[in-house]
Structure formats: structure tokens, C-alpha cells
Amino acid sequence: MHILHIDCSPRQDGQSRRLSAGIVAQLHALSPDAVVTRRDISALPPPDAHYASLLARPAETTGEQPEGSVGLSDIMIREIEAADILVLGTPVHNFTVPAALKSWLDHVVRVNRTVALGLDGKQGLIADRPVLVGVAAGGIILGEKAQQPDFFTPYLKAVLGCIGLQSVHFISVQGTAFCDEDVLRAAADQALTAMTADLRSSLSMPGRAAGAIHDA
């Protein structure tokens, strides 16, 4: 198994980083020979002008030597293609994805490379594989006790889906703005335990438990 582990929290001790590390640890426990490619995108800048030109005129720029954000886009797209499973750790910022994650998405959602445009809409060019999203939210955005609209999970599922990544699952720790450390740790442990049970099943390993991963 090849795992692509992505973190975007600006805090090195952020809850989403702890959660994504826990997900990777559980995957390692299920598949001890797993290889991990690590990508920290917390300081990733937006795509540059050359990349914007590529998106605006993809047919005219085909065959050009990659430079700037285009070269980085090639690298990050190949990282996705090489992985069997993606693990993404992210906080929720102002109802949606952080700026760093949006920048990564802008680098990997690329016309004629990861998505094709046609009369019937967008068609993903990347083969589907599981994407496990470890979400840390200051408020409550998921479930029956949600206190605010959830723009985060529909957006992330839609934008990843348009490049072919349809199997997106959310493992969440919520209420980080007002819960104490012990409560948050217990919530993370509970979410990871449930996730592991589902992964055993999907990876054809013994064991089965219900109610593991949020499919928003």
C-alpha cells in the first residue's frame, strides 16, 4: 500500500494534524509494509500567472516545458496517481476549506490533465481511490447537533469528485474551540477506532464494526 499523507493546518500541533497522523498509524497497523509520501501544504502559495495561462489556454500551452506552479502541479498530481489511498488532514476555516488546501486543489484540478471538459460537463481523469479526510472543526458542523451550515464536506466531495476521486470519507473531531484536551483526545480515539473497523472490511481483513466513517 502506498499512502499519500497531506496536511494543511498552519499549526504544527493542530488537531487535524494529530488526526491525520492517527489515520496513517492505523493504516500502518493494517498494512505494516505501507509506504508513505508526505506532503505539507500549509505554506503552499496560490498558482502563479504561468499556471493561470495554462488553464486559460490549455491547447496553446501543450508541450511547453513546465515552470513555476505548472511544474509543482505535475509533481503533486503524480503523487496522487502513485498513491493507493490519500490521507488529508485539514481544519475548517470560515465554513469551508483553508486557503492552503484550496491552493492544493487549484494545483491538482487541471484541465486536460486531471479533468476533461465536454458538453456533458466535467469528467475525471484520475482513477478512483479512497480519500480519508481527517477534519478538525472549532464548531459543530456535522451530524444532528450541527450548529452551522456545512459547506465544507459538499465542496470537498464535489471538487475531488470532478477529477475522479469519488470515494471520499470524513473522520471528524468537532468542537475544538470549546472542548478540553481530554474530550478531544477521546473523540479522536473513538473516530479512529470506528474508521479502523471499516478499513478492515474494505481491505478484506478480519473483523467488522458499524458506524465508522462519515460519508457526507
Residue-range domains of the chain with CATH: 2-202 (3.40.50.360)
Cell numbers for 161: 469528485
The count of other CB atoms within 10 Å of the CB of residue 78 is: 10
Measured CA distances, 103 to 39, 99, 108 (Å): 13, 6, 9
Residue 169 has pLDDT above 80, yes or no: yes
> Using one digit for the tens of pLDDT, what is the confidence trace for 71-97?
999 999 999 999 999 999 999 998 899
CA-to-CA distance for 163 and 77, rounded, in angstroms? 11
pLDDT above 60: residue 161: yes
Cα–Cα distance measured from residue 214 to residue 216, given in angstroms and rounded to the nearest whole number: 6
Q: The cell 505494516 sits on which residue? A: 32
Tell me the mean pLDDT in the region 130-136. Answer: 93
Q: Return the DSSP state at 203.
A: T
pLDDT at 204 over 80: no
Asked if 126 and 79 touch (Cβ cutoff 8 Å), the reply is: no
Mean pLDDT of 132-160: 85
pTM attached to this predicted model:
0.83
Looking up cell 493546518, which residue turns up?
A: 9
| Tens of pLDDT, residues 44-66 | 999 988 888 877 776 555 556 66
% pLDDT > 90, the chain: 50
Give the pLDDT score at 13: 84
Q: Which residues contact 59 (CB under 8 A, 6 or more apart)?
A: 112
Q: Say which residue, 139 or 212, is predicted with more confidence.
A: 139
Predicted local confidence at residue 139, as pLDDT:
65
Q: What percent of the chain lies above the pLDDT cut of 70?
A: 78
- Is the predicted pLDDT of residue 203 greater than 60, yes or no? no
Contact 200, 163 (CB under 8 A): no
The pairing of strands 121-124 and 115-118 is antiparallel
Query: According to the annotation, is 9 in a ligand binding site?
Result: yes
Q: What pLDDT sits at residue 113?
A: 93
Rounded distance, CA 8 to CA 168, Å? 17
